Amino acid sequence: MFTGIITDIGSVRKIEKRGDTRFEFSTAFDTSKIALGASIACNGACMTVIETGSDWFAIEASAESLDKTTLGDLEVGSRINLEQATRIGDELGGHIVSGHVDGVATLIKRIPEGDSLRLTFEVPEAFAKYIASKGSVTLEGVSLTVNEVDGNTFGINLIPHTQTHTTLGSKQPGDRINFEIDMLARYVARMLGKD
């Protein structure tokens, strides 16, 4: 489990396409303390660490992961939001995030508002029922509050800190973004028979 609070912006140092795709990510994390088999959210997708170096770690992404997320869009040098799994006793600063990406949203509008940025996203119609004004959503692994909803589009606000401490501040209209709906919304919809 994760909280959606990004603790490092890493970068892709190497990609190897084999049966699965191996990614190596440069990171500021203390990799000597990352156990093999540990989970790290990479742009919001929970991935398993298979190897570490002095300032990098590696994961393997299956065809399913590449199909359901934006990991397949990454190139050497791409910046990536990283969060290590939450430990018991850690502060839950965002909201409960599973790291199981539901799909890919598209950024359709970017408007400066004072020092903040207002971003509008479009998701596939099937996910519209899970997104509520003032509810939570995870985008590229970042826990965010939904400002407004209109059908299958919704807006969020990025304060300056989020713009500089995640990759979201550099996103442009047309960019594809990993999203995970709020786990509570998923269960409420199921209980109401809407899933």
Residue 48 is predicted with a pLDDT of: 97
Residue 53, pLDDT above cutoff 70: yes
Cα(174)–Cα(92) distance, rounded to whole angstroms?
32
Does residue 38 register a pLDDT over 90? yes
Whole-number pLDDT of residue 109: 98
Residue 109, amino acid? K
- The residue written with tokens 């989020």 in the block is 162
From residue 152, alpha-carbon distances to 20, 76, 189 in Å are 32, 32, 16
Q: Is the pLDDT of residue 90 over 70?
A: no
Q: With 80 as the cut, is the pLDDT of residue 118 above it? A: yes
| 61 close to 21: Cβ distance less than 8 angstroms | yes
Region for 140 from its dihedrals, namely left if φ exceeds 0, alpha if ψ lies in -120 to 50, beta otherwise: left
Q: What is the mean pLDDT of residues 130-157?
A: 94
Per 3-state DSSP, what percentage of the chain is helix, strand, and coil (rounded to 5)?
Answer: 20, 45, 40
> Among 6, 22, 8, 29, which residue's Cα sits nearest to residue 74?
22
Task: Provide the pLDDT confidence category of residue 188 given band limits of 50, 70 and 90.
Answer: low
Which residues, 6+ apart, have CB-to-CB distance to 79 below 8 Å? 9, 10, 11, 167, 170
Closest of 12, 21, 167 to residue 75, by C-alpha? 12
Looking at residues 141-163, what average pLDDT do you find? 96
Query: Within 13 Å and on the Cβ side, how many CA atoms surround 120?
Result: 12
Compute the distance between CA of residue 74 and CA of residue 23 in angstroms, rounded to an integer: 9
Residue 182 has a pLDDT of 79
- Work out the end-to-end distance of the chain between its first and last CA atoms, rounded to an integer number of angstroms: 23
Instruction: Tell me what the pLDDT averaged over the chain comes to.
Output: 91
* Predicted confidence (pLDDT) per residue in 5-14, tens digit: 999 999 999 9
Task: Say what the pLDDT of residue 99 is.
Answer: 85
> Distance between CA atoms of 14 and 77, rounded to whole angstroms?
8
Structure token digits, residue 90: 């850690």
pLDDT, mean of residues 122-146: 93
Does residue 190 have a pLDDT over 80?
Answer: no
Question: Which pLDDT score, from 0 to 100, does residue 4 have?
Answer: 87
Using pLDDT thresholds of 50, 70 and 90, give the confidence band for residue 145.
Answer: very high
185 — pLDDT class (breaks 50, 70, 90): low
Distance CA 2, CA 53 (A): 23
Model pLDDT, residue 170: 96
The predicted pLDDT at position 97 comes to 78
What backbone phi and psi angles, to 5 degrees, belong to 192?
-85, 0
